[in-house]
Chains A and B, each alone.
Chain A
Amino acid sequence: MAFSEKDVDYTAALARIHVSEDDKKVFAVQLEHILAYVNKLNELDTQQVEPTAHILPLKNVFRPDTAMKNPASDAAVQQAPYFNDTFYRVPPVIE
């Protein structure tokens, strides 16, 4: 299946990445090449095969619902490029 520059645009928009016109051409060729390769999985009949999301037989892991203070929460906020006190600062969300 061909992977066009339009597909790059669509996927990049979903991933919140801007791709320049030059990069778009390169990515389209490279991603088409990679997708052609991964299409070899279609040689296998997997209709009766269960998917594996995870190799461990773990189900949900529960712990007691106890309130705890995160000692690093102030330091964590201070790692943001812009913050006020304990809040993150961002550009306008709505016009």
Chain B
Amino acid sequence: MNLFSKTAAELLELLKNRDISAREIVTSVFNRIESVDSKVNAFAQTDKESALKQADAIDKKRSAGEPLGMLAGIPVALKDNLCRTGYRTSCGSKILSSYKAVYNATVVQKLITADAVFIGNANMDEFAMGSSCERSIYGATHNPWNISCAPGGSSGGSAAAVAADETILALGSDTGGSIRQPASFCGIVGLKPTYGLVSRFGLIAYASSLDQIGPLTKDVYDSALLLENISGYDPSDSTSIKQNPFSYTSTLKESIKGLRIGIPQEYFIGGLDSEVASHIQSAIKLLAECGAEIIDISLPHTEYAVATYYIIATAEASSNLARFDGVRYGYRTEESSDLHDMYFKTRSEGFGDEVKRRILLGTYVLSSGYYDAYYKKAQQVRTLICRDFENAFQKVDCIITPTAPSPAFKISEKIDDPLTMYLSDIFTISVNLAGLPGISIPCGFSSSRLPIGMQIIGKPLGEQTILRCAYTFERNTPFRTMKPTLE
């Protein structure tokens, strides 16, 4: 078996026994990238030379008997919005196309401490605004299961790279479903942690009250392992939760007997693909057979989540993206008559259409005379959505829903219809609004051989519970071993 197709846990075992070296893993992963990435286009950039150097340093440490980090020698891909000193961090945008980060994101620093090997930056929708990974200066990423389909977004490059075995681990960011929806489309595991569990320092902001960094991995164990290595309190992020480190891998194997799983009726409505519905129902049945108690619940404000999200997220984005004005970073227009003209031209030339659309929408809902009608109203509905979950979690320990209303759609199918594209995040958005953890794991395949994802939502800081539930499901189903045929 090729090293590139293994999980981090499998490779760590081989490394520990000195059966393989970090250099061999990195070489194997780059061979894979060279053979399939022309079809997938998962990366914004890769750096083989630097990755081999990092691997050699780790191999040397190992031979010298020096202490090693928990991910020593394991390749990881970063989403193109995570800062790593000296490397281009462009958010898939022309406006940052020449920007090189001048400091490490906290998650990057933690991965350096863990001795992980950085192989490159994964492609993404520009500024994480999209659900298809088509809106990037690096071109569209393709779904490894069917290259005419989108991998989902915005962390589509991270998800496709993991699914195509072009990396072992990847990090993404999730503002309205941007880790979980691509994980669902690509048949892998994607976890959005509780808001505040993972530091956002060094993540280029889209919507600060919703953004959260999380792992995209080949299985649930690796997800827990990567979360363990990136979570924890960070004084550089004022929204970081003061929490002691937790070993998520150590509680995965505990039984789910008696676990109360809520099924919200509002997620099984018209518009849900019938194959998705039937696979989720089978998954729920399997979890019941494993000892879980299945309880019907209601999340009555679900239908208002997308509208709430597109007011709050665009309002925050219009403010966050005001800093890109051609003065301090990246791109500046060639010619301008004065400062004002330079701002207008730089922003108009540097941002793509979807980013402009969201900045306009966000600016409008915050503008004089509309603030109460839109922004304040959305924040009030956000309270109602949070209360729905608080009430549900009185009765249950976690909640199961489909991750997305359909399997992967075709590339360019929804690109001209923003509202339809926004509605593809309908099942993931509420989780961000309420700041909860959510994981997507594969639960079946459609008749056209496209993966289907199941979402497990937890209480605040309930990662341990959702990972345990996901692990039990994974170990009782064959989906973890299934791979796309890209050759």
Q: Which residues of A contact B (CB under 8 A)?
A: 7-8, 10-12, 14-19, 23, 27, 30-31, 33-35, 37-44, 46, 49-56, 58, 61, 63, 72, 75-76, 79-82, 88, 90-93, 95
B-side contacts of A17, CB under 8 Å: 344, 347-348, 351, 356, 359-360
In the complex, what distance in Å separates the CA atom of A65 from the CA atom of B310? 37
Residue B195 lies at the interface, judged by CB distance under 8 Å to chain A: yes
**A-B contacts, 17 listed (Cβ < 8 Å):** A7-B364, A27-B357, A30-B419, A31-B360, A37-B419, A38-B310, A41-B378, A43-B304, A49-B381, A49-B384, A50-B380, A51-B383, A52-B379, A52-B382, A81-B98, A81-B326, A91-B342
- The answer on a CB contact under 8 Å between A56 and B195 is yes
CB-defined contacts of A39 to chain B, threshold 8 Å: 307
A-contacting residues, B333-372, CB 8 Å: 336-339, 341-345, 347-348, 351, 353, 356-357, 359-361, 363-364, 367
Residue of A nearest to B321 (CB): A15
Segment with Cβ contacts to A, from B14-22, B110-118, B233-241: B233-241
Q: Which residues of B contact A35 (CB under 8 A)?
A: 361, 364
CA distance A45 to B118 in the complex (A): 50
Give chain B residues whose Cβ lies under 8 Å from the Cβ of A16: 322, 325, 343-344, 347
Residues of B contacting A88 in the complex (Cβ-Cβ under 8 angstroms): 327-328
Q: Bound complex: CA of A52 vs CA of B382, how far in Å?
A: 6
Task: Tell me the minimal C-beta distance from A12 to chain B in angstroms.
Answer: 6
Which of A18, A30, A53 is close to B379, meaning CB atoms less than 8 Å apart?
A: A53
User: Which residues of B have CB within 8 Å of A44?
Assistant: 301, 304, 381, 384
The 5 closest A-B pairs by CB, nearest first: A51-B379, A55-B435, A46-B380, A81-B332, A38-B307
Contact flag A18-B345 (CB < 8 Å), given A34-B419, A50-B383? yes
Contact (Cβ within 8 A) A80 B329: yes
B366 CB to closest chain A CB, in angstroms? 9
Q: Which of B195, B361, B384 has the most CB of A within 10 A?
A: B361
Asked, given contacts A11-B364, A19-B348, whether A53 binds B308 with beta carbons under 8 Å apart, the answer is no
Are A76 and B102 in contact (CB-based, < 8 A)? Answer: yes
Quick check: A51 and B382 within 8 Å, CB to CB?
yes
Assess whether B318 is interfacial by the CB under 8 Å rule: yes
Docked complex Cα distance between A90 and B326 (Å): 9
Judging by beta carbons under 8 Å apart, are B310 and A34 in contact?
yes
Question: Which applies to chain B's interface (DSSP): helix, strand, loop or mixed?
Answer: helix
Cβ of B376 under 8 Å from chain A: yes
Which chain A residue shows the least CB distance to B349?
A18
Q: Cβ of B360 and Cβ of A8 under 8 Å apart?
A: yes
What residues of chain B lie closer than 8 Å to A56, measured between beta carbons?
195-196, 239, 241, 435
A17 to B376, CA, bound (A): 25
Most buried by B among A10, A31, A38, A56: A38
- Min CB distance, B114 to chain A, in Å? 23
Does B100 lie at the interface of the complex (its beta carbon under 8 Å from any beta carbon of A)? yes
Contact of A15 with B363 in the complex, beta carbons under 8 Å: yes
Pick from B351, B380, B418: contact of A30, CB below 8 A: B418
Q: Is the CB of B363 within 8 A of A14?
A: yes
Closest B residue to A39 by beta carbon equals B307
Beta-carbon contact of A15 and B418 below 8 Å: no
Question: Which of B98, B337, B360 gathers most chain A CB within 10 Å?
Answer: B360
A74's nearest neighbour on chain B, judged by CB, is B102
User: Does B328 contact A11, Cβ atoms closer than 8 Å?
Assistant: no
**B256, CB-defined interface residue at 8 Å:** no
Q: Which residue of B is nearest A51, CB measured?
A: B379
Q: Is the CB of A79 within 8 A of B328?
A: yes
Name the residue of chain B whose CB is nearest to the CB of A38: B307
A30–B435 touching, CB < 8 Å: no
Which residues 186-221 of B have a CB within 8 angstroms of A? 195-196, 209
Query: Is there an interface contact between B383 and A41, defined as CB atoms closer than 8 Å?
Result: no
Answer yes or no: B185 CB below 8 A from chain A CBs: no
Contacts of B4 in A (CB 8 A): none
Which residues of B lie under 8 Å from residue A37 when comparing CB positions? 306-307, 419
Q: How far is the CA of A18 from the CA of B361 in the complex (A)?
A: 15
A15 to B239, CA, bound (A): 27
Q: Which of A14, A42, A49, A91 contacts B337 (CB 8 A)?
A: A91
Q: Which residue of A lies closest to B435 (CB)?
A: A55
B3 within 8 A of A: no
Question: What's the Cα separation between A92 and B339 when bound, in Å?
Answer: 6
* Bound-state Cα–Cα, A92 to B342, Å: 10
Q: How far is the CA of A79 from the CA of B351 in the complex (A)?
A: 18
Give the contacting residue for B239; candidates A23, A41, A54; CB below 8 A: A54
- Chain B residue nearest in CB terms to A73: B102
List, in ascending order, chain B residues with CB within 8 A of A42's CB.
Answer: 377
* Closest-CB distance, A72 to chain B (whole angstroms): 4
A60 to B341, CA, bound (A): 37
The answer on a CB contact under 8 Å between A55 and B374 is no
A31 contacts B344, C-beta separation under 8 Å: no
